[in-house]
Amino acid sequence: MSSVWNNKISVSVFGEAESPAIGITVNNLPSGEYIDVAEIHKFMIRLKGSERRENIIPHVMSGLFNERTTGAPLCAFIQNYSPEPSFGQNPDRLARAGHADYTGAVRYRGFNDVRNSGHFSERLNVPVCFAGAVCGQILERRGIYVGAHIASVYKIKDNPFNPVKVTREDIINIREKDFPVINDRKGSLMLEEIERIRKTGDSVGGVVECAITNVPAGIGSPIFDGLQNTIAQLIFGIPLVTGIEFGTGFRSSGMTGSDWNDNFYVDSHNHILTETNNHGGILGGISSGMPIIFRVAFRPNPTFTKPQTAVDMREMTGKTYCTEKDYDPCTVIKAVPAVEAVANMAILTHMMEYPNFC
């Protein structure tokens, strides 16, 4: 399995949903960086968006001493709870709707761990969020902030970020909310909709909008190492992602060039900026100095209590199954810190080329 991402920094994720532990190793972080472990815990606790029992406490094995990065690989693991008894020694080989059971079995000849989706599980978001929280602290000490909110759940939409001006305060205010939205009234409507759908035994998807502020102009390299490339590659490592768009995204196809182009101007501080931000802060794969804005679409959780059909890959017969345990009717809530985490990783790996950054 390709669970290693290698750029200026490298990240390697290990473990499965029901293995003794999951974890991550991050290499090439700058040495001497102060890391506040309490702030890491605060970041990761935001993953507790459902009623499922999940441990999120990271145990740092190497790379951190006296709260400073040592320059050695930063390795952390998170202990899993005991496997659920229902799986036993011979778990069913079901090709469930919406899951990677069938494709994983074909790719790995049936030897992959299928318990709770194994290495395909969103449980692997936890160590990724640890790495992203570390990267975020390094960025924030340089004034770069990454923040996200739930842009929509089903058909209910939150207010969007101001595309030309996103402040540190905007990001912190959302981060400190139990339900990360800009408009709390819209957030209440979303929660009501999630509960309504949960009562029907179903699940629902949504969109997360992310903003990155204070990234200087000139970061990123075309053609294959542009900022969009790096962000998108990491974003698609988050389970249930179905799409990403920057700036006006797909709406751009319905605009004229004169409507879409963002006119440049010089502000009172002698900075070159744009009047609008349809380009989402990136032109030619390189940062423009405007806020980087992108949105990520998440499909509904494929696990819910309504009856579904599957194929028993041992007996090659159809089978109806139901999920009787608790499930998460809307994983978008927990996806917000995951989106922030991988965005932190993407920006840090490019900023390490910036003069005098480290």
User: What digits encode the pLDDT tens for the residues 143-186?
Assistant: 999 999 999 999 999 999 999 999 999 999 999 999 999 999 99
DSSP 8-state code for residue 82: P
Structural domain spans, the chain? 4-351
Mean per-residue pLDDT, 234-257: 97
- H or E element in which residue 345 lies: helix 332-351
| Residue 90 reports pLDDT greater than 70 | no
| Residue 87 reports pLDDT greater than 60 | no
Q: How far apart are CA 87 and CA 113, in angstroms?
A: 11
Mean per-residue pLDDT, 48-72: 83
Q: Positive or negative CA dihedral for 94, 100, 106, 108?
A: negative
Q: Are the CB atoms for 49 and 190 separated by under 8 Å?
A: no
| Residue 33 reports pLDDT greater than 80 | yes
88 CB-side CA count, 13 A = 5
> Residue 105: pLDDT band by 50, 70, 90 thresholds?
confident
User: What digits encode the pLDDT tens for the residues 325-356?
Assistant: 778 999 999 999 999 999 999 999 999 989 88
DSSP 8-state code for residue 34: B
> Residue 84: pLDDT band by 50, 70, 90 thresholds?
low
Nearest to 198 by CA among 187, 188, 190: 190
> Residue 221: pLDDT band by 50, 70, 90 thresholds?
very high
Report the interhelical angle of 332-351 vs 125-140 (nearest 10°). 50
The pTM (predicted TM-score) of the whole model is 0.93
| Residue 120 reports pLDDT greater than 80 | no
Assigned token pair, 198: 């949960």
Q: Exposure of 150 by Cβ count < 10 A (0-12 exposed, 13-18 middle, 19+ buried)?
A: buried
| Residue 82 reports pLDDT greater than 70 | no
pLDDT over 90 percentage in the chain: 73
> Residue 194: pLDDT band by 50, 70, 90 thresholds?
very high
| Residue 86 reports pLDDT greater than 50 | no
Q: Which CATH class for the 4-351 domain?
A: alpha beta
> Residue 89: pLDDT band by 50, 70, 90 thresholds?
very low
Is pLDDT larger for residue 167 or for residue 88?
Answer: 167
Q: Exposure of 223 by Cβ count < 10 A (0-12 exposed, 13-18 middle, 19+ buried)?
A: exposed
Q: Give Cβ neighbours of residue 263 (< 8 Å, ≥ 6 apart).
A: 274, 275, 276
Q: Positive or negative CA dihedral for 93, 97, 102, 104?
A: negative
Mean per-residue pLDDT, 231-248: 97
Nearest to 317 by CA among 104, 93, 65: 93
Q: How far is CA 112 from CA 77, 100, 122, 238, in A?
A: 21, 11, 16, 19
